Amino acid sequence: METNRIPFLDLVTPHRELKDELTAVFEHALETAGFIGGPMVEDFERTFGRYCDTQHCVGVGSGTDALRFALMAAGVGHDDAVITVPNTFIATAEAISQCGALPRFVDVDKRTYNMDVNGLAAYLADECFRNDSNGKLVDEQTGRRVKAVVPVHLYGQMADMDPILELAERYNLLVIEDACQAHGAEYFSRRDNRCKQAGSMGRAGAFSFYPGKNLGACGEAGAVTTNDAELAQKVRMLRDHGQAQKYYHEMEGFNGRLDSIQAGILGIKLRHLTAWNERRRECASRYRELLGAASEVIQLPIEPSWSKAVFHLYVVQVQNREQLQKHLGEAGIGTGIHYPIPLHLQKAYENLGYRQGDFPVSEEAASHILSLPMFPGLTYAQQDRIAQLVLDFVNGETVRIPKSTPRGSVMTSIGS
């Protein structure tokens, strides 16, 4: 029996390491009965806002809440269309629909798997028109007003935000970043000649703190980041039944608050996020060293010069993905597929009228991508073993990896 298992994600070890601090959060909540709102939520909002370089951060119940509330607070609603990508988790599109708007997709870039800015430009130029009477942009096929664009910073790498923001300015679109997989990811803006944080570039950013994220709670949690005080205030009301003052409801809202135990836990983990992200980057460059010899057969993640990715996932692309997954699985290596069916081909979105072939890059990716183990505690020895199995699979026994080198040392070649 295989005993040398390597999980896709190790969530147990970091919680074991932080057990005393995390338990103290529970104890504090029990002693004060402060379960909803209060100082732990406010402290976390302040610190995470600072981390993302935004003036406001509003804790909410999940990443889906964050997206939905951000869109609603920005004024997206019935009769609107919102542009996003098909290669994402369904929550991106759910949030759009749940505001009453219609998701419209543009394909992703085949190198980064994020929104293809040329595709976005082509959609806006060729598939939309300006309404003569009010100047608003309308999606030709559905007659809906195109109100916003939601770039997704998938797998921990930001979408190419400069051209997206330029197009948004030209066409008067709101930009809401889906940063649910991108805590701490950075983008070098050529426009502003400086690095910017995920969640700080659009009108608002939406984060998920689902346990497996780079910054994960011990349950459900999310946050909206923004520099727009009015939008932040609306999100605060939307998360709390439309009230700013207890029992005075200015509108209908939701029960979408961030609970204080989760906020306390997130505050503790946030202190480690920079180091954890650095470890993920180190693991990514180690994979690149180890697998570089097979890069003709396996497409490794590509990090453009403007991107500093935080590798929420390490996604490779290979023709015979199912066999590789089986080969790794039999050796005890956990893998994942993010995501096997692009949203435009999901049953849930049959009503949108898209067909196979509409978004070829997303479709191609969906059938060939495989996520290898990626987490801060992944060791060099574990990566050696994973890479050797991958190389054995693609090259037979022809490419061998030298014995594990200590963490931090640089490997220059992987020749036999």
Ligand X SMILES: Cc1ncc(COP(=O)(O)O)c(C=O)c1O
Q: Tell me whether residue 64 or residue 112 sits nearer to ligand X (CB atom).
A: 64
Least spacing, CB of residue 2 vs ligand X, in Å: 29
Q: Say which residues have a Cβ less than 8 Å from residue 235's Cβ, sequence separation at least 6.
A: 58, 60, 69, 70, 73, 204, 224, 226
CB distance 29 to 39 below 8 Å: no
How far apart (Å, rounded) are the C-alpha atoms in residues 120 and 107?
Answer: 8
Least spacing, CB of residue 181 vs ligand X, in Å: 5
Least spacing, CB of residue 215 vs ligand X, in Å: 11
How far apart (Å, rounded) are the C-alpha atoms in residues 97 and 366?
Answer: 23
Least spacing, CB of residue 338 vs ligand X, in Å: 8
Q: Tell me whether residue 64 or residue 200 sits nearer to ligand X (CB atom).
A: 64
Least spacing, CB of residue 299 vs ligand X, in Å: 21
Q: Tell me whether residue 114 or residue 382 sits nearer to ligand X (CB atom).
A: 114
Cα Dmax for the chain: 72
Q: Say which residues have a Cβ less than 8 Å from residue 339's Cβ, sequence separation at least 6.
A: 87, 88, 89, 366
Q: Tell me whether residue 280 or residue 286 sits nearer to ligand X (CB atom).
A: 280
- Residues near ligand X, by CB under 6 A: 62-64, 88-89, 91-92, 152, 178, 180-181, 208, 210, 222
CB distance 116 to 94 below 8 Å: no
Q: Tell me whether residue 68 or residue 147 sits nearer to ligand X (CB atom).
A: 68
Burial 42-67 (b: 16+ CB within 10 A, else e): eebbebbbebbbbebbbbbbbbbbbb
Q: Tell me whether residue 145 or residue 183 sits nearer to ligand X (CB atom).
A: 183
Strands (E) located in 182-335: 186-189, 194-197, 204-208, 222-226, 243-245, 248-249, 307-308, 314-317
Residue with the CB atom nearest ligand X in the bound state: 63
Least spacing, CB of residue 223 vs ligand X, in Å: 10
How far apart (Å, rounded) are the C-alpha atoms in residues 141 and 81?
Answer: 11
Least spacing, CB of residue 233 vs ligand X, in Å: 22
Q: Which amino acid is at 9?
A: L
